């Protein structure tokens, strides 16, 4: 027990490991990412549709002579409209290819995330994690067998990611449940 107390004291004196602000991590669900992409595509498509409608109106307003023949100016205008419509079609095809590539990429990322999570669930704790696990068990025991996860993390001076990894490796010994007053917080307890 004295070794655990010494480890707690020496561990508490180490500075807290944090990620620099330039390396902040944003976590999005796949549905949130799809919604963001759909909004971006919508913003790109609406102006194109407006341009097509304007071109159609200009085409109708081109100088047609009586008898349905198109004047030379009208023919030049129609050729210009045809070129613009072709460029719009090429842009549209490019956007479709980008969307398909993104969907393929996101499917690969989801598969990679599933593999990474599966690996985390079956990882044997490293020696440092074993020591931290002993410290965490002692800390929880000292607090009556339960405590908020964020308080334990702060006392151990671990980053959120390291603390999460520690909880995953100790899932057989420590249980994490949502706090009844705030579901975003977790209560950890000994099993």
3-state secondary structure of 178: strand
Using the predicted structure, report yes or no on whether residue 70 has a pLDDT greater than 70.
Answer: no
- pLDDT per residue over 34-49, tens digit each? 888 888 888 877 887 7
| Pair (145, 110) in one structural domain | no
Tell whether 7 is covered by a domain.
no
- Distance (Å) of CA 158 to CA 9, 20, 167: 14, 14, 12
What is the extent of the structural domain holding 90?
30-121
Q: How many helices, marked H, and strands, marked E, lie in the chain?
A: 6, 3
Do 114 and 42 share a structural domain?
Answer: yes
Q: Is the pTM of this model over 0.75?
A: no
How many structural domains comprise the chain? 2
Is 106 a domain residue?
Answer: yes
pLDDT category, 3, cuts 50, 70, 90? low
pLDDT of residue 64: 45
CATH of the domain at 175: 1.10.10.10
Same domain, 140 and 106: no
Residues whose CB is less than 8 angstroms from the CB of residue 151 and which lie 6 or more positions away in sequence, other chains included: none
Average pLDDT estimate for 50-55: 77
Pair 41, 110 in one domain: yes
């Amino acid at each position: 027990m004295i070794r655990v107390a010494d480890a707690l004291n020496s561990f508490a004196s180490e500075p807290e490991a944090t990620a620099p602000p330039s390396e902040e991590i944003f976590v999005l669900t796949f549905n949130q990412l799809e919604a963001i992409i759909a909004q971006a595509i919508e913003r790109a498509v609406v102006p194109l549709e407006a341009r097509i409608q304007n071109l159609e109106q200009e085409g109708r307003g081109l100088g047609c002579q009586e008898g349905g023949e198109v004047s030379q100016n009208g023919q030049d205008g129609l050729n210009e409209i045809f070129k613009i419509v072709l460029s719009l079609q090429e842009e549209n095809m490019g956007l479709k290819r980008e969307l398909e590539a993104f969907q393929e990429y996101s499917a690969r990322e989801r598969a990679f995330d599933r593999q990474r999570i599966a690996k985390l669930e079956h990882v044997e704790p490293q020696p440092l994690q074993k020591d931290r696990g002993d410290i965490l068990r002692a800390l929880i025991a000292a607090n009556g067998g339960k405590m908020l996860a964020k308080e334990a993390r702060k006392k151990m001076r671990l980053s959120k990611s390291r603390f999460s990894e520690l909880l995953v490796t100790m899932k057989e010994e420590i249980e994490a449940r949502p706090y009844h007053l705030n579901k975003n917080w977790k209560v950890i307890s000994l099993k």
